Every structure is written in C-alpha cells, then in structure tokens.
Amino acid sequence: MSAEDVTPNGQAYSYPAWVDTAAIPPVMHPHVPTSPQSSPTKAIPTDLKKLKKSARKGKYKGTLGERDNLWYQICIRKVSAGHGIYDEVSKDVFLESNSSKDENLVFPAFVDQNYVFTYYLNSEGKQKLSQLLCVISSTRPDIIYCPLMVPVASLLLHFMDCSQAYDCLAALHTSNTYKHMEQTRSGHESFRMTFGKLVQRFSSSVHKLIVQKTNGNPQEVYDDWLFWILRDLPIHHLIRVMDCYLMEGLKIFYRVGFRVWCSTRNTEVGFQFRGLSRSVIGAYQTKVKVTADDVDGSRSSPQSLSVPIALRRSGSTIVTGKQVIFIITVQSILHNKIASNHLELAAYPFLNLSAESCVHVRGSRFLINTFSSACEYCEPTILLIKTMDDEVFGAYLSTCWGQRNDEEQKTPYFGTGESFMFSLSPEEKKYPWVGLIDNNKVSGPSDHAAHLFMRAQANLIAVGGGGGDGICLDGDLTKGRTKACITFNNPPLAKEEVFQTRVIEVLTLRF
C-alpha cells in the first residue's frame, strides 16, 4: 500500500468495488508523502482562491480518500445539484432488466473511441461508465461531440458512484465560470490545435527542437499532446491534474502539456509561464477556430450549402428573419454547426434556428441590472439597437453576460474574439475582432485594447473599447453612445455620437 492509498486518519483507502485496486501501481515519486501522518487533515477550503492554491501545490496528493468529497464539492460549489436525477432517468433509459448486464459496452454518439480511457475500472466499472454516459446523452441531447467526457467520467467513478458522478458532470457542463469540455467537433479541434500555437509563442526553443526532430512537420507531435496527459501520465499524477482541472477548466491541460515538454527546466514551469492567461488562450483558440472555418468555407461557403436553413421565428420587432440569418451567416456560425454535424445531416435535413427575444425595451426606463439578469446565462446573444433616427446596429456576443460576476475577473471586461459588431441600417456591414485580421502574426494579439469585448457595470453596458466604446448604453437604456474603437476597428455606428434609443432587443440563439 502506498501513501496515496490512505485516508487522512491513516486508514487504508477502500476504492469502490468497480475499481481494480490490485492493478493500480504504487506511487514512485519523491514528493509523495511516505507516511500516513503527513496527509493533511484540514477541512476543504471554502475560499476558491485558497482551494485553487491548495490544488496547484498538491496539498491533497497524499490523500486519495478525500477525493470523493473534494471533487464533488469543487464541482457543485456554484450549482444546485439535481440529486436523484440520475436514478430517475436511468430507470427510463434502461427499461429492460438485462440491459445493464450486456457484456458489450454501449457508448453514445458524442464519444470518440480514440479517447476511451477507463483506467482501472473493472468490468463492472466499465458497465457503470457506459450507463452513466447514456444517461448524460439522454439528459443533454445538445452535446454533439465530447471526447473528454469518457476520461473525466472514468476518473470520477474511481471515487464515487454514478449518481454523484452525474451531478459532477452536469455541473461542469452548466458552469458559467470556466469551460471544462467542448461539446462540438470544431470546438474540440480548436482547443486541441491551439497547443502548438502556444508552444510556438511561449517556448520558441522547444518549438524549434520539435521542428528539427520531426523534419519540419511539428504537427505530428502536436496532434498527440492530449494523449500525453490522458493516456500516458501515471494515474496518481493524473489525479492531481484532475484536482486543478475541476477548479480551473480546460486551461489546465495546456499548462500540464507545457510541464511535460519543459520538465527538465523548472518543476513548476507549467504554472509559471508569464502571459499564459485565459484571455490569451481564448484569443488563440478563436484564431484557430476561425481560420479552420475559413478553410472549410472556401470549399463550401455558407451561401453554397445545399442544406436548407430555416428560422422558426425571430421574435424581433427590429429585424427580419432574413437579417438574423445574415448576421449569423457572416460569422460562419451556420457553416460551423453544419460541419460539426455533417454525419447527422441525413437524419436532420433542416438546421433550425430559433431566436427568442429575452429582453425587449421600447422607450421605457429599464434598469440595467434587470437587463443583465434577464440575459445572465444566454450564450450567444445578439444585441440589437434601433435609434430614434431608425438606424439599426448591434453586436454578436459569444459570452453570456453572467461572466461579469466571475470572481477571478481582474478587469471589468470579458468575452472572446468570436464576438463582432455590425450595422444593418442604413447599410449592412460587419466589424470583426481585430485579432483576426492579421493571421500571419506568430506572437498573437497582445494589445490590451484588442481584448475589450464586453463590459457590464451598475450604470452601463458596453461593447468594444480602446479610443472609445464601440457601443455604450446608459443605466436606463434610453440613450447611448457609439465611437470608433480599437477592439473591432469600427466607425461610429450612428450619425450622432450620442443617440436616443427607440427599441433595444437581445436575441438568444437556440440551435
């Protein structure tokens, strides 16, 4: 028995019956405690910053027995877990009494077989994993492609039952703080492919070495970086990665990937790269995603797609359904959705978009906090403004307004480079994020003003910044301002800098 297999009281930790305990190798690492007395006994911190610091420094590395409580509390700390949902749904999913005893594992369509890592689950554990994923698929039909689901679910099942694991996975998917799993093929590919760009930016010497060793084809290495972590790391190291991942989301995988490559330089190098912030990572992901969409779009542009596009209803008094489709099409969202579902188009020949008006203001004094709360968890959204001069303009916003409450926000701005501004009347024109304009820059966008996407405060909401707000609405939403801004390189969207609003709407899209 290793020191990692004891509880804080020094007792042997008993894995669930569906884990093959005998197959788990002993810990072979000099930094792991060698006696039960060295295991921490303090309660799990309630302060998020202290908890993140504890996870990063490996405070829990000697106590596998705490993982069931630790991971569960991390996952549901901001979510009201739906206790009992798994048991109720599983009864409907597995109506036949012998279905759970089928020796052939059944995985939902969103599973990628290349990422099926079950670690030390025995045959019973693998059946539980299969059932858990089927219940997830039943309750979350919006999940299209999610390779990380299997390894994360497998690790959770090493320390808890299916009901608790379901609560954790459901909480991760509904988290408004950090993204833990991509749910489409294009999203996952942009996440995966960004790693090579980050290495090139933050560790050029390592990148040059990879180029040299691969005869000028570094992508051969970068294509496999997730497998270094999910498949190749020893289980006890992977558990520590999970501690940080559950706290901080997908960003941790990039940091661990850096740690694997640069392990001979600094033991903490993965968390010490200056400038490897969430906003910079998001900027690179956006560039990779849009570049990939542009390449696909050159083969089959949204206008040339043979798949019919239908809008069930726009719910808008400002724009027509055709204009809503124009806004989405110029962003290549339609092409992105179709590309990620290309195998299912025969079953679903129509791509239906429902744009529901979640905020509608017509010349009334509407408090801005009411606006923000109404749009709290809508993502993405389209902000539409019609002025007293009948000018129509707005912004496509990729991030929910609830992000303003992120406890780790260091500035009042949030959002990603998938956002853009547009004008519909008197002319139709799009103003994309400036970070997408020059795709030849290896170093990536670094100007602070280029990342001022969204801002929401007690007395205003704003889109774009640097030199002025692209769009700014005051506290009662009856008037606003528009200026040229650096973030989107747009001109003022109205003929007057200060305008009176006739109608304001926010549409949320349902794909």
User: Which pairs with CB-CB distance under 8 Å and at least 24 residues apart come from 265-274?
Assistant: 271/56, 273/202, 273/203
- 300 pLDDT exceeds 80? no
Do residues 324 and 316 lie in contact, with contact meaning Cβ atoms separated by under 8 Å?
yes
**Residue 402 to residue 383: CA distance in whole angstroms:** 15
Nearest to 233 by CA among 347, 119, 379: 119
User: Which pairs with CB-CB distance under 8 Å and at least 24 residues apart come from 223-230?
Assistant: 223/192, 225/192, 225/195, 225/196, 225/257, 225/260, 226/115, 226/192, 226/253, 226/257, 228/257, 228/260, 229/253, 229/256, 229/257, 229/260, 230/115, 230/117, 230/148, 230/151
Tell me 503's DSSP state. E
Please give the residue that has the higher pLDDT: either 59 or 335.
Answer: 59
**Residue 135 to residue 116: CA distance in whole angstroms:** 17
Q: Which of 19-33, 131-145, 306-320 has the highest mean pLDDT?
A: 131-145
| C-alpha torsion angle, residues 490, 368, 378, 75 (rounded to 10) | 120
The tokens for 222 are: 């970068």
Which one-letter amino acid corresponds to residue 328?
Answer: I
- 304 pLDDT exceeds 70? no
78-82, 258-262, 440-444: the lowest-pLDDT one: 440-444
Query: φ and ψ at 358, to 5 degrees?
Result: -95, -15
The tokens for 110 are: 């969103």
Query: φ and ψ at 345, to 5 degrees?
Result: -65, -30
What's the pLDDT score for residue 388? 92
pLDDT digits (tens, 9 = 90+) for 411-424: 788 888 889 999 99
Tell me 28's DSSP state. -
Domain boundaries, the chain: 185-283, 284-510
HSE of 212, CA atoms in CB hemisphere, 13 A: 6
What's the pLDDT band for 262 if we cut at 50, 70, 90? low
**302 preceded by a cis bond (ω within 30 of 0):** no
What's the pLDDT score for residue 115? 94
**Residue 493 to residue 468: CA distance in whole angstroms:** 12
Tell me the mean pLDDT in the region 269-295.
67
Do residues 487 and 467 lie in contact, with contact meaning Cβ atoms separated by under 8 Å?
no
Nearest to 172 by CA among 158, 152, 154: 152
pLDDT digits (tens, 9 = 90+) for 461-474: 999 998 899 999 98
Please tell me whether residue 156 adopts helix, strand or coil conformation: helix
Q: In terms of DSSP bridges, do strands 420-425 and 392-397 run parallel, antiparallel, or are they unpaired? A: antiparallel
Neighbours of 37 (CB within 10 A): 11
Q: Which regions of 260-408 does DSSP assign to beta strands (E)?
A: 309-313, 351-361, 381-387, 392-397
What's the pLDDT score for residue 26? 76
**What mean pLDDT, rounded, does the chain reach?**
74
Which residues, 6 or more positions from 406, have their beta carbon under 8 angstroms from its beta carbon?
177, 414
**Residue 487 to residue 482: CA distance in whole angstroms:** 13
What's the pLDDT band for 179 if we cut at 50, 70, 90? confident
**Residue 181 to residue 143: CA distance in whole angstroms:** 10
**Residue 340 to residue 296: CA distance in whole angstroms:** 11
The tokens for 491 are: 């001109």
The tokens for 55 are: 């996870």
Which residues, 6 or more positions from 325, have their beta carbon under 8 angstroms from its beta carbon?
309, 311, 334, 353
- 62 pLDDT exceeds 60? no
pLDDT digits (tens, 9 = 90+) for 94-112: 764 444 445 567 899 999 9
Please give the residue that has the higher pLDDT: either 68 or 455.
Answer: 455
Please give the residue that has the higher pLDDT: either 325 or 473.
Answer: 473
What's the pLDDT band for 28 if we cut at 50, 70, 90? very low
pLDDT digits (tens, 9 = 90+) for 329-386: 655 444 444 333 332 322 222 233 445 566 666 666 566 767 766 677 677 788 889 9
pLDDT digits (tens, 9 = 90+) for 185-236: 888 888 898 998 888 888 888 888 888 888 888 888 888 899 989 999 999 8
Do residues 33 and 59 lie in contact, with contact meaning Cβ atoms separated by under 8 Å?
no
Do residues 328 and 481 lie in contact, with contact meaning Cβ atoms separated by under 8 Å?
no
What's the pLDDT score for residue 367? 65
Query: φ and ψ at 421, to 5 degrees?
Result: -105, 160
Concatenated DSSP letters of 166-208: HHHHHHHHH-SSS-----SHHHHHHHHHHHHHHHHHH-HHHHH
Q: How many residues does the chain have?
A: 511
Alpha-helix residue ranges (DSSP H) falling in 401-475: none
Which phi-psi region, left, alpha or beta, contains residue 84 (left: φ > 0; alpha: ψ -120 to 50)? left
What's the pLDDT score for residue 183? 86
SS3 content of the chain, % helix, strand, coil (to 5): 40, 15, 45
- 124 pLDDT exceeds 70? yes
